[in-house]
Amino acid sequence: MDGVHDLGGKQGFGAVGHGPQAKVFHSDWEKRINALYAIAVRQGIFNMDEYRHAIERMEPRHYMCASYYERTLTSLATLCVEKGVVTHAELETLAGGLFPLARALGTGRTNVPNRSSYNPGDWVRVRDLYVSGHVRLPSYIRGKVGRVIAVSPPYPFPDAQAHGVQAQDEPTYDVQFHSHELWSDAADDALVHVGVFESYLEPLT
């Protein structure tokens, strides 16, 4: 999904709010929500891909302006409503006000059928891929060329997992890109490593 969550390389943002005031939590409810979503995952109410995708499905302005734990809270509530654990109306009654949830879930997809596997040292191209459902491809690597540095063991395929679609597990590749391949001369000189699922790659021909 080409959503506002896909922030890598986006410009116009100010300084990072780094400093002695940095904190993990700013209030007690943040700790409790962080605990609750993890409990819901452990109870099997939803998986981590569903959790991440429900955050991405938040109305874009809501996503942009919410704090991190408000995003957690919205994903947790959305999935609990979608899975039938609680109703939206009940949540609003309990909260004593409107309770904005994420927008509706679309369709997922399974693995790409004709995918190749790669070895460290292989040059690869990221597919020019557009997926309306969940996808863990940051748009800044779309269509770009990089080199495989390492291979991980197979993981569940997020494009399927977030939508309850059957799929095979896939290795992810540690792919190294040069920042100038990604953003021409409008970036600092660096190597950027991204964990890329096999279905997102094609051999460099």
Partner 1 sequence: MESNSDLKAVAAPVERAAAIEMALTSRGVATVEDLAERVHLADEVWLPERGARVVAKAWTDPVFRTRLLANGKSAVAELGIELPAHHRHLVVLENSHEVHNVICCTLCSCTALTVIGLPPDWYKDLEYRARVVRDSRTVLREMGLDLPAETQVRVWDTTADTRYMVLPLRPAGTDHWSESQLATLVTQDSMIGVARALEAK
Residue 96 CB coordination number (10 Å)? 7
State the amino acid at position 160 in one-letter form. A
Closest C-alpha among 137, 139, 174, 135 to residue 153 = 174
Of the candidate residues 54, 57, 69, 199, the single one contacting partner 1 (CB under 8 A): 69
Contact present, 123 and 152 (Cβ < 8 Å): no
DSSP-assigned letter for residue 41? H
Q: Using CB under 8 A as the criterion, what x/- string covers residues 174-203 for binding a second copy?
A: ---------xxxxx----------------
Q: Rounded to whole angstroms, how far apart are CA atoms 134 and 154?
A: 18
Among a second copy, partner 1, none, what binds residue 36 when CB lies within 5 to 8 Å by partner kind? partner 1
Contact present, 104 and 1 (Cβ < 8 Å): no
User: Which lies closer to partner 1 via its Cβ, residue 25 or residue 123?
Assistant: 25
In the Cβ-directed half-sphere of 77, how many Cα atoms lie within 13 Å?
Answer: 22
Give the shortest CB-29-to-partner 1 separation in angstroms.
Answer: 4
Contact present, 168 and 109 (Cβ < 8 Å): no
User: Which lies closer to partner 1 via its Cβ, residue 94 or residue 205?
Assistant: 94
State the amino acid at position 125 in one-letter form. R
* Number of residues in contact with partner 1 under rule CB under 8 A: 91
**CA geometry: angle 75, 56, 193, nearest 5 deg:** 120
**205, two tokens:** 């021909």
Residues 103-132 that bind partner 1 (CB under 8 A): none
Residues 142-171 that bind a second copy (CB under 8 A): 143
Q: Using CB under 8 A as the criterion, what x/- string covers residues 91-130 for binding a second copy?
A: ------------x------------------------xxx
Among a second copy, partner 1, none, what binds residue 185 when CB lies within 5 to 8 Å by partner kind? a second copy
Residues 65-84 that bind a second copy (CB under 8 A): 65
User: Which lies closer to a second copy via its Cβ, residue 63 or residue 173?
Assistant: 63
State the amino acid at position 62 in one-letter form. H
By the rule CB under 8 A, 145 interacts with partner 1: no
Among partner 1, a second copy, none, what binds residue 55 when CB lies within 5 to 8 Å by partner kind? partner 1
Residues that bind a second copy (CB under 8 A): 1-4, 9-14, 56-61, 63-65, 103, 128-132, 143, 183-187
